[in-house]
Structures are given as C-alpha cells and as structure tokens.
Amino acid sequence: MAGMFIGEYTFKVDSKGRVSIPALFRRELEEGDPDRPNKERPRMVIVYGADTQKMLQVYTQAAFEALAADIAALPRGSKQRTILQRLVLSKSHPTEVDNDGRLVIPAPLRAKIGLSTEAYFSGVGETFEIWNPETFAAADEANIDQWVEEQGEDFDPLSLLSQG
C-alpha cells in the first residue's frame, strides 16, 4: 500500500477546470498506480457520489481497485452491494495526472461542488478530497469545530483512538 495523503492545500482552478495537484499528493498517486504502463502518468479515480455529497473523493488506482473488489465481495443482489455500486462505481470518473502535474476536473463535477476559481485539497489518509474552499470551511466549522468545543478545554482528540 502507498503512503498517505495528508495536509491541506488551496490552488487556483483555470477556466478549463485544470488545477495543480499538490506535489506530495502526486507522489502518492504515482505510488498508488504501480502497474501503469511504462511509468506513464499516474491514474486516479474521482468519486463524486450522491447529489448531497459536496466534495470530490479522489482514490489512487490501487485503492479504487481494492474498494471495487470489496464491493464485488458483497452478496450479489444485496441492498448494500447495489447501493455501493450506484454511489461509488457508477458515480466515478477515472482520470490521470496531466503532463504538468494537474488534474482536469470536468465541468459537471465542478458545478456539482460549486468549484470556480479555487480548489481546496484535504488529505484524509488513503484518499484526498477536493472542495470549494467556502463549502469546506462551513462544513468543517459545523462538523468538527463545534464538536471539539463541546468536548471541553482539555480534550485530546487522540483519546478517540483508545475508544475504537
């Protein structure tokens, strides 16, 4: 397995939907596509999911293949498999890094998440997310900041690991 996507980055998006991929993320995408022919441009898969999903989840080629295998391992005809096939496999866009280290985000995907002039990249381990910066800030404040405040001043987020 490749390393991890970590960190936060904001990059400009041009009128054609091209955005630079953070250099550290490009290295992970390369590691996550070891079988690409002749070490060509690394492939990745953008999962855009349900209409309510306000960000794009980006997988390395290897991570997406593992996810697809996990979905295929579910019982054929089961509700879980059908839902995951529709939300993950059907609502995906395979692509690759261009020669300049950029990702071209198709217009329908940019429109779905309200992306215009800037893209916010958030490394979340095995994948990374692409957000409209304002949408991310609002979601982060609503979901994370508020929850952390409710835990009290001396709360250590790493204590959640021992609750697993």
Instruction: Considering only residues 104 and 143, tell me which one the structure prediction assigns the higher pLDDT.
Output: 104
Q: Which of 46, 147, 59 is nearest to 91 (CA)?
A: 46
Q: What's the pLDDT tens digit per position in 39-66? A: 799 999 999 999 999 999 999 999 999 9
Q: What's the pLDDT tens digit per position in 2-38? A: 589 999 999 999 999 999 999 999 999 999 998 888 8
* C-alpha distances in Å from residue 33, one per residue of 58, 64, 76, 88, 130: 13, 10, 28, 19, 20
For the chain, the structural domain boundaries read 5-152
Please tell me the distance from the alpha carbon of residue 27 to that of residue 23, in angstroms, as a whole number: 6
* C-alpha distances in Å from residue 160, one per residue of 8, 122, 143, 151, 157: 22, 21, 16, 11, 6
The fold adopted by the segment(s) 5-152 is Chemotaxis protein chec (3.40.1550)
Beta-carbon contacts of 127 under 8 Å, excluding residues fewer than 6 positions away, are 5, 57, 58, 59, 63
Instruction: Considering only residues 145 and 29, tell me which one the structure prediction assigns the higher pLDDT.
Output: 29
* C-alpha distances in Å from residue 86, one per residue of 70, 83, 142: 14, 5, 28
